[in-house]
Chain A
Amino acid sequence: MSKFNFWLQRAAQVIIVLLIVTFGASLLLRLIPVDLATILIPNGSESEREILRNEIGLNKGPIGYYLQWLGDFVQGDLGKIYFSGGTETVSDHLAKAMPRSLLLMAYTQVFALSVAIPLGVISAYRAGRRTDRIISNILFVMASIPGFAIALILIIVVGVKLAWLPTLGYATYSEGIWEHFKHMLMPVLSLSFGLIATYTRLLRADMIASLREDYVTMAMSKGLSDRRILWKHVFRPSSITLFTSAALSMGGLIGGAIVIESIFATYGVGFEIFAAIAGRQYISLQSCVAVISLFYVFFNLVVDIGSGFVDPRTRDRRANV
């Protein structure tokens, strides 16, 4: 199979998956046993509800509704959020929320990797010795503690008792870089704990395998310094798996951060989803889920293609599973 064909097939798969996901989400809405227009505008009059039903296609069958939603979605109309004073568009909300979530993800990744890489290298270098065992045990515990628990403990200790950091909200760059990072620090810490553990263990395992390779033995026999061997000959090839895994976790972070975003009220995409559910704004919910799935699947695809370029073995392995 040629490379081009392979990608074409992957892309087709992705599109099919996305179509089914979004159709499923829209079908789910139609399963709600109550009139959706009544839920969306409980304070509206019957005529207003009729207008709403026509507007978003609730008077059509499930498939007609989905097609209309899909048409609007593709054109960037993600529906509206309804409250008694009027409406706000979901796209406006997401336009504000998305950069926040993306920044949060980016910071989390940078932080997690910059902690995990040294840890991973050290524990691989000292594999089986005390340092390695201590790191491994701590990481194991870290990986098991849910992010919200870390978030709540951070709030109690750092936010309330020590009053070092604000416990909620989001600050833009214009409100000051320092303010911005102060607001981001605790959410980033809460999200990265689990990732640090995952990344470190991954890197450690990969590096230990690499250390057994012949070319490392060769390099050692040449009398190269440990440091040089570790970083140049061992870390570099091992890092591919690490970055692949990091990229794969990107999409998951957007949605997985819901609890963290709602605890810290950072008003990101996760918070929008939480708000949509709390206010029963199901159209917003449907569109947010679609956007998140889009990102998630997109990241996976990019990683797939990217890692196929870097290391054909990965691609083949993926194709088989």
Chain B
Amino acid sequence: MFNNSKFTKPTWLSISWLGLMLFLAVFGSLLPFKSWKFVYEDDLGVVPFSPGHILGTDNNGYDLLASLIAGTRMSIFIAVTAVSLGGLIGSALGITAAFVRGKVDTVMSTLFNVGLAVPNLVLALALVSVLATNVDINQSVPTWRRVMVLIVSLTIVLIPILGRIARGATLSWSGRDFVTAARSMGMRDRQIIMKHIVPNVLPALIAVAFLAVGVVIIAEASLSILGVGIPDGASWGGMIARGRNDLEYSPHVLYIPVIFLAITVISTNQIGEVLRSKLDSREAKV
């Protein structure tokens, strides 16, 4: 689809970085590290490049490299899952709405507007805090359920955003001649959507999805900072939240996850932007 063009150096760097993150997310647990929660009681808050701790430790005695690798897995997992789900549901709704038009479209658009009427983070915050309430006080919310709640909440936040983009793109394509032609040839709606709309809308959605991954990573970190993330789990946001109280004494505990997070977001944005500009130029040629 985009293979006929050469990527610039920043783009290659971004791709490599994301590749590295993906590798850590998938194979990080196979690397020869102790559990990130292992407490090095004699090395509390040591600075980076200390013997045995390349990135240092935090004040709980957790090794930061091990935390970072475990955090990459969690942050990337949450982001990729939420964006995939949000993209899938959002584009299904958006494409349907735009293609069917009429009442369905009105209802969908209103619902999208409702979702967009609440600022993203407020919506996610409200959803997480309500969904993660435990019924029985001695029954704590297990970590896996907290992760699920986070993913579901972020997905709900993404649906109207991606849905609206899918709808917009579909609208602009469904008016084109070849769709009209296909219809007059007696093609069924489902076939038209699958054959003509989806392939054309997909690239735009993929470009946006890269940007959305960045947004979700930041959102997850924000939720952790606000204390509604995954409390004793490893994620970049969780690391930042843990390090906040000690920023005066061990700033590296904050710098390291912040830098990782920022580079990752820069990379996803770079790739998203590149894809989008390629699309735009393709559009222009059409």
Q: Which residues of A contact B (CB under 8 A)?
A: 13, 16-18, 20-21, 24-25, 28-29, 31-34, 39, 140-141, 143-146, 148-149, 152-153, 155-156, 160, 251-252, 254-256, 258-259, 262-263, 273-274, 277-278, 280, 282, 285, 289, 292-293, 296-297, 321
Chain B interface residue bracket vs A? 35 or more
Complex contacts, B129 vs chain A, CB 8 Å: 277, 280, 285
Residues in A whose Cβ lies below 8 Å from that of B254: 152-153, 156
Bound CA span A146–B121, Å: 13
Task: List B residues at the A interface (Cβ < 8 Å).
Answer: 110-111, 113-114, 117-122, 125-127, 129-130, 133-135, 168, 171, 214, 218, 221-222, 225-228, 240, 244, 247-248, 251, 254-255, 258, 261-262, 265-266, 269-270, 273
B113 pairs with A152, CB closer than 8 A: no
Residues in A whose Cβ lies below 8 Å from that of B247 = 152, 155-156, 160
Contact indicator A21/B258 (Cβ below 8 Å): no
Cα of A286 to Cα of B262 in the assembled complex, Å:
32
Residues in chain A near residue B135, CB distance under 8 A: 33-34
In this complex, what residue of A is CB-closest to B223?
A259
Query: Are B269 and A144 interface neighbours, CB within 8 A?
Result: yes
A146 to B126, CA, bound (A): 21
> How close is A227's CB to chain B, nearest CB, in angstroms?
31
**Are A145 and B126 in contact, CB atoms less than 8 angstroms apart?**
no
Q: How far is the CA of A262 from the CA of B222 in the complex (A)?
A: 10
**Assembled-state Cα–Cα distance A21/B122 (Å):** 12
CA distance A292 to B125 in the complex (A): 13
With a CB–CB cut-off of 8 A, which chain B residues contact A148? 221-222, 225, 240
Q: Is the CB of A254 within 8 A of B226?
A: no
What chain A residues lie within 8 Å of B244 (beta carbons)? 152, 263
Inter-subunit contact B261/A255 (CB<8 Å): no
A20 contact set on B, CB distance < 8 A: 110-111, 114
Residue contact B266 to A144, C-beta cutoff 8 Å: yes
Q: Which residues of A contact B251 (CB under 8 A)?
A: 156
A17-B130 in contact (CB<8A): no
Shortest CB-to-CB span from B256 to chain A, Å, is 12
Question: Beyond A31-B130, A144-B269, A296-B119, is A21–B114 a contact (Cβ under 8 Å)?
Answer: yes
Contacts of B214 in A (CB 8 A): 144
Q: Which residues in B have their C-beta under 8 angstroms from that of A251?
A: 119
CA distance A251 to B116 in the complex (A): 11
* Contacting residue for A32 out of B117, B133, B266, CB 8 A: B133
Chain A positions within 8 Å of B270 at CB level = 140
B258 (CB) vs chain A CBs: closest residue: A149
Check B225 against A254 for contact (C-beta < 8 Å): no
Question: With the chains together, A289 CA to B119 CA distance in Å?
Answer: 9
- Residue A146 contacts which of B114, B168, B222, B227 (CB distance < 8 angstroms)? B222
Residue from B122, B248, B255, B258 in contact with A258 in the complex, judged by beta carbons closer than 8 Å: B122
Chain B residue nearest to A23 in the complex (CB): B114
Tell me if A278 and B258 are in contact (CB < 8 A). no
Q: Which residue of B lies closest to A259 (CB)?
A: B222
Q: Are the C-beta atoms of B265 and A292 separated by less than 8 Å? A: no
Q: Are B118 and A296 touching (Cβ within 8 A)?
A: yes
A17 in contact with B113 (CB, 8 Å):
yes
Complex CA gap A299/B226 in Å reads: 26
What's the nearest-Cβ distance from chain A to residue B255, in Å? 8
Determine if A285 and B119 form an interchain contact, defined as CB atoms under 8 angstroms apart: no
Are B248 and A160 touching (Cβ within 8 A)? Answer: yes
Given the known interface contacts A28-B127, A141-B266, A277-B129, the answer about A289 and B118 at a Cβ–Cβ threshold of 8 Å is yes
Pairwise interchain contact A273-B122, C-beta atoms closer than 8 A: yes
* Docked-complex contact A255 and B119, CB < 8 angstroms: yes
Q: How far is the CA of A117 from the CA of B61 in the complex (A)?
A: 47
Closest approach, in angstroms, between the C-beta of B97 and any C-beta of chain A? 13
CA distance A244 to B191 in the complex (A): 40
**Complex CA–CA separation, A293 to B116 (angstroms):** 9
Q: Which residues of B contact A277 (CB under 8 A)?
A: 125-126, 129, 226, 228
Q: List 7 A-B contacts (CB under 8 A).
A: A33-B135, A34-B133, A251-B119, A255-B119, A255-B120, A256-B120, A259-B121
Nearest to B109 among chain A residues (CB) is A13
Cβ A252 vs Cβ B118 within 8 A: no
How long is the Cα–Cα vector from A274 to B120 in the complex, in angstroms? 14
Residues of chain A within 8 A (CB-CB) of B221 are 146, 148
Residues B133 and A258 in contact, CB atoms below 8 Å apart: no
A35, chain B: closest CB distance, angstroms: 10
- Which residue of chain B has the shortest Cβ distance to A253 in the bound complex? B119
- What separation, in Å, do the CA atoms of A25 and B254 have in the docked complex? 34
Let me know if B121 and A258 touch, CB within 8 A.
Answer: yes
| Beta-carbon nearest neighbor of B269 in chain A | A144
Q: Is the CB of A289 within 8 A of B126?
A: yes
List chain B residues, Cβ under 8 A from A273.
122, 125
CB distance from A150 to the nearest CB of B (A): 9
Say yes or no: A259 contacts B226, CB within 8 Å: yes
CB distance from B253 to the nearest CB of A (A): 11
Known: A144-B262, A258-B226, A292-B118. 11 other contacts (CB 8 A): A13-B110, A20-B114, A28-B130, A32-B130, A140-B269, A146-B262, A252-B119, A277-B129, A277-B228, A278-B226, A292-B122
Q: Which residues of A contact B120 (CB under 8 A)?
A: 255-256
State the CA gap A148–B239 with chains docked (Å).
13
Cα distance A278–B129 when bound, in Å? 9
B residues in contact with A160, CB < 8 Å? 247-248
Q: Is A25 a contact partner of B126 (Cβ separation < 8 A)?
A: yes
For residue B121, which residues in chain A have a CB less than 8 angstroms away from its CB?
255-256, 258-259
CB distance from B87 to the nearest CB of A (A): 19
Residue in chain A with minimal CB distance to B254: A152
